[in-house]
């Protein structure tokens, strides 16, 4: 549908981080923005019932921080003033079975609990004149204009009084940011629409987190990652400073054969069984602050709504309701920020050029924002036995890509090239194309630096013995994600 867009009222379903990002962008274009939130808004920075994962560490990647700071200037400074841990000039340890590297953070970033992240955003949004929170409200169904495929609003239930009061809300645009439990697939089916096949990464992920308090007498403790060994079912361990006096220790494993313990007596012993004893040694200087708490992710799902020729006008979807990434990789908030930036860019284009299939084009661009994260999650998680990719296209040369990246990290660690490891982290932060790491020239460097000859021997099974054919093989194995198109704001 190409009728002119109206900018009177927009509705966002869900008042989490993605919802507030969406509302912030919409408030520049729409006269009124309503956030429908089923939980009661907290009076202080505390976890909500609707965010069961909020207990666990949440990581803001550099790109996400850049977008948050542009939309919410001073966001990082405010978090630091409230007790967030400042990573500027802090050194962290990256530990593998092959050794370790130290990396020094060159950016000011606040590491804190999700409740604090949400609280600061919420206070900003409550002060926005055009934005209105409707707490204790539940989205019941979409409202369509009779006889058309145009969404014109939402049926909502006000839950302040039992059993609730149901009423209609009109809107020129509805955006679903309600997360992995989104009702959107059911609503679309109820409207008589057929849904495309979803991609599903059956990950059977489990992780467990325990917080420890830092005493004044504790030595200076660096954040660290102890990389797991999927082939031996050894979990990954994370030791991260959170706020000025707390440390979060997180154990994670995929595949479902073993979920990290939530038993307080066993947690420390499982930590000691990691690939390296560094985390176990560090917590001997700390005092347990909480009991361990677990979280399970059966699968990650990627919807392909952009493929629907009859996608309703007046409707969009963002965040985990569109595509869920494995949360252990810490990319979710940055993905949401990229989607918000995409929404902003597409709304600007719609104002300049008219509707021009605004909704479907926006969904296509948001799917582009999800491509790299989905590819990276699938590659990392499928190293664990029991993880399976269902639906969609298989990943070309999966085993080669997995083994190459393992050898690349081994090469960076053993040769003490911190800049190589930083490039690896930049790729996982959506700032570097995978082809800048996975290429024939980089492989030759790895082979030359390996005096044992193991890398050269490994490469023989893939070698076409012709540079042109080998480059073609790399291009087939490693997609081009066109990050330069994704990252610009205009």
Does residue 271 form part of some domain? no
- Residue 317 CB contacts under 8 Å (≥ 6 apart), including other chains: 175, 176, 177, 182, 184, 303, 305, 363
Does residue 292 form part of some domain? no
- Residues of the domain holding 449: 398-487
pLDDT for res 1: 43
Does residue 103 form part of some domain? no
For 226, the 3-state DSSP assignment is: strand
Domain match, 74 and 31 both: yes
Helical H segments across 99-234, by residue range:
114-126, 184-190
Does residue 238 form part of some domain? no
Domain match, 59 and 180 both: yes
For residue 227, give the nearest of 101, 352, 120, 111 by alpha carbon. 101
Q: Are 53 and 113 in contact (CB under 8 A)?
A: no
pLDDT for res 487: 77
Does residue 173 form part of some domain? yes
For residue 10, give the nearest of 237, 174, 229, 143 by alpha carbon. 174
Does residue 24 form part of some domain? yes
pLDDT for res 2: 53
Domain match, 173 and 74 both: yes
pLDDT for res 92: 96
Does residue 176 form part of some domain? yes
- Residue 468 CB contacts under 8 Å (≥ 6 apart), including other chains: none
E strands, 308-444, in order: 315-317, 388-390
Q: Are 313 and 151 in contact (CB under 8 A)?
A: yes
Domain match, 342 and 409 both: no
CA distance 25 to 342: 10
Domain match, 406 and 341 both: no
Domain match, 343 and 441 both: no
Q: List 177's β-bridge partners, or say none.
A: none
Instruction: Provide the CATH number for the domain around residue 176.
Output: 3.50.50.60
- Whole-structure pTM value: 0.95
Please give the angle made by the CA atoms of 140, 141 and 145, to the nearest 5 degrees. Answer: 145
Q: Are 120 and 126 in contact (CB under 8 A)?
A: no
Domain boundary, last residue among 334, 349, 378: 378
Domain match, 331 and 415 both: no
Domain boundary, last residue among 328, 350, 378: 378
Domain match, 466 and 423 both: yes
Per-residue pLDDT of the chain (490 residues; tens, 9 = 90+): 456 789 999 999 999 999 999 999 999 999 999 999 999 998 888 877 666 677 888 878 999 999 999 999 999 999 999 999 999 999 999 999 999 999 999 999 999 888 899 999 999 999 999 999 999 999 999 999 999 999 999 999 999 888 889 999 999 999 999 999 999 999 999 999 999 999 999 999 999 999 999 998 899 899 999 999 999 999 999 999 998 889 999 999 999 999 999 999 999 999 999 999 999 999 999 999 999 999 999 999 999 999 999 999 999 999 999 999 999 999 999 999 999 999 999 999 998 887 668 999 999 999 999 999 999 999 999 999 999 999 878 999 999 999 999 999 999 999 999 999 999 999 999 999 999 999 999 999 999 999 999 999 999 999 999 999 999 999 999 999 999 888 776 5
Domain match, 439 and 326 both: no
> What is the count of structural domains for the chain?
2
Domain match, 316 and 421 both: no
Domain boundary, last residue among 324, 344, 378: 378
Domain match, 129 and 18 both: yes
For 36, the 3-state DSSP assignment is: strand
Which pairing describes strands 236-242 and 246-253: parallel, antiparallel, or unpaired?
antiparallel
Domain match, 64 and 139 both: yes
Does residue 35 form part of some domain? yes
């Amino acid at each position: 549908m190409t009728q002119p867009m109206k900018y009177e009222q927009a509705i966002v379903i869900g008042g989490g981080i993605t919802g507030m990002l969406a509302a912030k962008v919409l408030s520049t274009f729409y006269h009124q923005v309503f956030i429908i939130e089923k939980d009661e808004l907290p009076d202080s920075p505390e976890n909500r019932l609707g965010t069961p994962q909020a207990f666990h560490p949440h990581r803001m990647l550099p790109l996400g921080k850049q977008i948050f700071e542009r939309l919410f200037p001073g966001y990082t400074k405010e978090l630091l003033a409230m007790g967030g841990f400042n990573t500027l000039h802090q050194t962290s340890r990256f530990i593998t079975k092959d050794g370790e590297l130290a990396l020094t953070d060159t950016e000011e970033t606040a590491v804190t609990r999700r409740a604090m992240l949400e609280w600061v955003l919420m206070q900003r949004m409550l002060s926005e004149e055009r934005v209105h929170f409707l707490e204790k409200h539940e989205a019941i169904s979409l409202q369509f204009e009779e006889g058309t495929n145009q969404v014109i609003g939402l049926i909502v239930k006000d839950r302040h009084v039992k059993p609730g009061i149901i009423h209609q809300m009109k809107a020129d645009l509805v955006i679903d940011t309600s997360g992995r439990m989104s009702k959107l697939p059911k609503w679309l089916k109820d409207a008589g629409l057929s849904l495309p096949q979803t991609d599903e990464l059956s990950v059977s992920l489990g992780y467990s987190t325990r917080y420890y308090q830092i005493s004044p007498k504790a030595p200076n403790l660096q954040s660290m990652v102890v990389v797991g060994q999927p082939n031996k079912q050894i979990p990954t361990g994370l030791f991260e400073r959170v706020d000025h006096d707390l440390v979060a220790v997180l154990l994670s494993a995929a595949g479902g054969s073993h979920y990290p313990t939530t038993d307080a007596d066993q947690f420390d012993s499982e930590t000691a069984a990691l690939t390296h004893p560094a985390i176990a040694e560090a917590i001997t200087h700390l005092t347990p602050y909480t009991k361990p708490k677990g979280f399970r992710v059966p699968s990650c799902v990627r919807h392909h709504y952009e493929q629907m020729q009859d996608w309703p006008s007046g409707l969009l979807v963002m965040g985990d309701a569109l595509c869920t990434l494995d949360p252990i990789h810490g990319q979710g908030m940055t993905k949401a920020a990229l989607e918000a930036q995409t929404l902003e860019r597409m709304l600007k284009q719609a104002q300049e050029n008219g509707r021009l299939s605004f909704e479907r084009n926006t969904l296509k661009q948001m799917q582009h924002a999800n491509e790299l994260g989905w590819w990276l999650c699938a590659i990392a998680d499928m190293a664990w036995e029991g993880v399976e990719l269902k639906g969609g296209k298989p990943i070309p040369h999966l085993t080669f890509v997995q083994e190459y990246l393992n050898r690349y990290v081994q090469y960076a660690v053993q040769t003490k090239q911190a800049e190589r490891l930083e490039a690896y982290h930049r790729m996982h932060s959506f700032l570097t194309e995978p082809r800048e790491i996975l290429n024939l020239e980089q492989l030759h460097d790895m082979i030359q630096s390996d005096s044992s000859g193991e890398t050269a021997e490994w490469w023989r099974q893939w070698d076409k013995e012709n540079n042109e054919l080998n480059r073609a093989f790399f291009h087939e194995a490693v997609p081009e994600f066109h990050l330069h198109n994704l990252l610009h704001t205009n």
